[in-house]
Amino acid sequence: MDILTWTYILVGLSFAIYIGIAIYTRAASTKEFYTAGGGVSPLANGMATAADWMSAASFISMAGIIAFSGYDGSVYLMGWTGGYVLLALLLAPYLRKFGKFTVPDFVGDRYYSNKARVVAVFCALFISFTYVAGQMRGVGIVFSRYLEVDINTGVIIGMAIVFFYAVLGGMKGITYTQVAQYCVLIFAFMVPAIFVSIQLTGNPVPQLGLGGTVEGGGHHLLDKLDGILGDLGFHEYTSGRKPMIDIFAITLALMVGTAGLPHVIVRFFTVPRVKDARLSAGFALVFIAILYTTAPAVAAFGIYNAIHTVAGQPVDQLPQWVENWKKTNLIAIDDIDGDGYVQYTPYTDTNELHIDKDIMVLAAPEIARLPNWVVGLVAAGGMAAALSTAAGLLLVISTAVSRDLFRTFVPGMTEKMELIIARIAAATAVIIAGYFGINPPGFVAEVVAFAFGLAAASFFPVIIMGIFSTRMNKEGAIAGMISGLVFTMAYIIYFKFISPEYNHVDHWWLGISPEGIGTLGMLLNFGVCYAVSKMTPPPPQKVQDMIQEIRIPRGAGTAHHH
């Protein structure tokens, strides 16, 4: 069977499973809509968290960045993995004990102020929209390749599907759907990686293959890759170009941004006890590590194969995968000098091959000439990754609007009304996200990096100081969130939209790129929080007592509700 048939069968089958699960477990009450009724086992919750965590950026785009920027791409690996550990150990158990579903809920209660809650809602919406736009772009790329349509049409089809099952099932449907999505996603990432690793290095473990020697040549894969790229005028794959401070800033922004990401925090409320929350965090880390340790290998194999099969080849005899991908406009070949051969000289005017970073993982099985069913499987995996995260984010957006905004101003609202508002909010969110998916401000992982920077600059200090400082008050929290968010946003908008021609290390402040500026935003937020709360009256005694109680673990049973 051809690639298209396999893709339809595998994507169709996986969707039938997801939608079946969503209907079977659909939410009947708001508790089930928001937190799945609190009865999910730690193992299942660990898988769901991992699927929620590994978005289209992890599945589709991360290996692509590493493939094109080599060593510099490692910031994403370190930042995202480190951030998960930080969240699981430092924040999750306390937020869980506090008994609040959402970050704005925590902020509103901890800082005894509706103003603070509303500021937090706007931060949450802003972060989630930036993030979900990246996912929509990922969905669009997958659909455009396999339905052979333009990428914009792909985004629109993706919008329809995401809307259908996020709005129907709520958190309960999403949790069990995400368990299924994790299985599809990890299988789809590992199968081609293992195949290609055996093909190139004879070693079935991709993590070991990466450091191994090329079959029949005796040369180390990375040495050979450095050689090929060096000959083409690239920087060596294993050497970095970014200034050290920027590498540090991006890694830190991704780490602490992760810890403030609203859709992952909700996951710790879907299990019955605090102990289970810790357990599922541990399981999730193992499930996440399987993909993250394989990504550098996938990246190296992919770029090695791509250059091998295209650079210097006759234009009329290119492999089939180039033809397949040309329809999406994500790869272009332009024979400038008319000699009939593809010259690949990146960063110059005579370059004749243009590859979009986001296609590396999806195209890898075709480049390596793996069987067609593997290509279909990867398509299903890419869909699973983008959709599981998009659904989780839409839930955060609808919760923020219905629960945190409307409940605050219309306290007497019925449960039924709240569910209707949550669904309308989710629908609006899909449309806005789709618009940004069609006109993205960068490639998938870059857009996602901005979301993390904004989360680092707005939420992280307020959550940390809310848990660990009794002196921190509402004035400090509000001033800190606003200053951190505005500073980070202004910096990103200036370099990305107002004067992109200055977006270079010579013009950056202290040599920190827009992807890493969230780190400075966070420091600013901490400073403002501290200074303002010193100059204003301390929080009421009741709030101070509550904070003391959260930190002293009295029996690890269920959280006490106030």
pTM attached to this predicted model: 0.75
What is the Cα–Cα distance from 334 to 461, expressed in whole angstroms? 49
CA distance 258 to 434: 23
Q: Which residues pair with 341 in a beta bridge?
A: 314
pLDDT at position 530 = 92
Q: Could you say which DSSP state residue 495 is in? A: I
Q: How far apart are alpha carbons 537 and 207 in whole angstroms?
A: 55
Pairing of strands 353-355, 331-333: antiparallel
Q: How far is CA 468 from CA 124, 461, 552, in A?
A: 22, 10, 11
For residues 522 and 461, the answer to whether their CB atoms sit within 8 Å is yes
Do residues 398 and 426 lie in contact, with contact meaning Cβ atoms separated by under 8 Å?
A: yes
Write out the residue range of the structural domain in which residue 293 sits: 3-551
Question: Are 159 and 466 in contact, with CB atoms under 8 Å apart?
Answer: no
Nearest to 457 by CA among 516, 532, 504: 516
C-beta neighbour count of 24 within 10 angstroms: 11
Residue 49 in contact with residue 371, Cβ under 8 Å?
Answer: no
Q: Is 59 domain-assigned?
A: yes
Residues 6+ apart with CB under 8 A from 96: 268, 269, 274, 277, 559
Instruction: Specify the residue for token string 């005579």.
Output: 350
Q: Classify residue 403 by its DSSP letter.
A: I
Tell me if 427 is assigned to some domain: yes
The rounded distance, in Å, linking the Cα atoms of 113 and 116 is 5
| Residues pairing with 331 in the sheet | 355
Residues in the chain, total:
562
* Residue 447 belongs to some domain of the structure: yes
Compute the 3-state secondary structure of the chain and give helix, strand, coil in percent, each to the nearest 5: 75, 0, 25
Give the number of C-alpha atoms closer than 13 A to the C-alpha of residue 454, restricted to the C-beta side.
Answer: 25
Tokens of 92: 């999750």
290 vs 338: CA distance, rounded Å: 45
Q: List per-block mean pLDDT (blocks of 10 residues) for the chain, which spans 562 residues.
A: 82 81 68 62 84 76 76 79 79 73 80 86 81 78 76 82 66 71 86 83 76 68 68 60 83 83 69 76 86 84 79 78 76 76 68 75 82 85 77 77 78 80 82 79 70 87 86 90 91 80 76 86 94 90 82 56 52
Q: Report yes or no: 153 and 73 within 8 Å, Cβ to Cβ.
A: no
Which stretches within 232-344 are classed as H helix? 244-259, 262-265, 274-310, 320-326
Distance from C-alpha of 238 to C-alpha of 222, rounded to nearest angstrom = 8
- Whether 331 is in a domain gets the answer yes
Collapse the DSSP code of 516 into the 3-class scheme (helix H, G, I; strand E, B; otherwise coil) and give the result: coil
Q: 219 to each of 199, 213, 307, how far by Cα in Å?
A: 15, 5, 17
Total count of domains within the chain: 1
Question: Does 503 reside within a domain?
Answer: yes
CATH number at residue 68: 1.20.1730.10
Q: Measure the CA–CA gap between 408 and 121, rounded to whole angstroms.
A: 11
260, burial (CB in 10 Å: exposed 0-12, middle 13-18, buried 19+): buried
Distance CA 386, CA 391 (A): 9
What residue type is 460 in one-letter code?
F
Distance of alpha carbon 154 from alpha carbon 137, whole angstroms: 9
Would residue 403 count as lying in a domain? yes
Alpha helices in 347-414 (DSSP H): 360-367, 372-399, 407-409
Collapsing DSSP states into helix, strand and coil, what is residue 499? coil
pLDDT attached to residue 177: 77
Residue 562 domain-assigned (yes or no) = no
Please report whether residue 466 resides in a domain: yes
Residue 87 structure tokens: 């969240």
Query: Minimal CA–CA distance to 445: which of 328, 358, 330?
Result: 358
